[in-house]
C-alpha cells in the first residue's frame, strides 16, 4: 500500500511555483533597479517573463535583461527562466 503523499505529489507545485518565480523576479528587480514592481504586473509562460509597466521601466528592464536573467538563473536554476519581455 502506498502513502497518500504519492497520490498528492502532482498537487504540490500546481500554482505555487509560478508565484514563487514571480516573487523572486520582483525581489531581483527591486535589488538591481531599486524599483518596486507589483506582483500582478508580472506574468510567466513557458519560461518567459512578461512585464506590464510604464514604457520607461520596460526599456530599463530590457537593457538590464541579461543581468536579470543570469541572476534569476543563479537563484532558480538555469531552466526556469529563459527570456524577459
Give the residue numbers spanning the domain of 78.
Answer: 20-84
Q: What is the tens place of the pLDDT at every residue in 4-17? A: 777 666 666 566 67
* Cα 13 to Cα 34: distance, rounded to the nearest angstrom: 30
CA distances from 81 to 2, 5, 55 (A): 35, 28, 22
* Number of domains into which the chain is organized: 1
14 in any annotated domain: no
Stretch 43-60: mean pLDDT: 93
Stretch 19-43: mean pLDDT: 93
What pairing do the DSSP bridges indicate for beta strands 48-51 and 83-84? parallel
70 in any annotated domain: yes
Alpha-carbon radius of gyration of the chain: 15
12 in any annotated domain: no
10 in any annotated domain: no
80 in any annotated domain: yes
The pLDDT of residue 17: 77
pTM recorded for the entire structure? 0.79
Q: Is the pLDDT of residue 3 over 90?
A: no
The pLDDT of residue 7: 66
Amino acid at each position: 500500500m502506498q502513502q497518500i503523499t504519492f497520490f498528492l505529489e502532482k498537487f504540490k507545485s500546481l500554482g505555487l511555483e509560478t508565484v514563487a518565480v514571480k516573487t523572486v523576479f520582483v525581489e531581483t528587480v527591486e535589488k538591481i533597479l531599486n524599483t518596486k514592481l507589483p506582483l500582478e504586473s508580472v506574468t510567466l509562460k513557458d519560461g518567459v517573463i512578461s512585464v506590464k509597466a510604464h514604457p520607461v521601466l520596460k526599456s530599463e528592464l530590457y537593457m538590464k535583461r541579461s543581468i536579470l536573467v543570469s541572476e534569476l538563473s543563479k537563484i532558480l536554476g538555469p531552466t526556469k527562466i529563459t527570456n524577459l519581455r
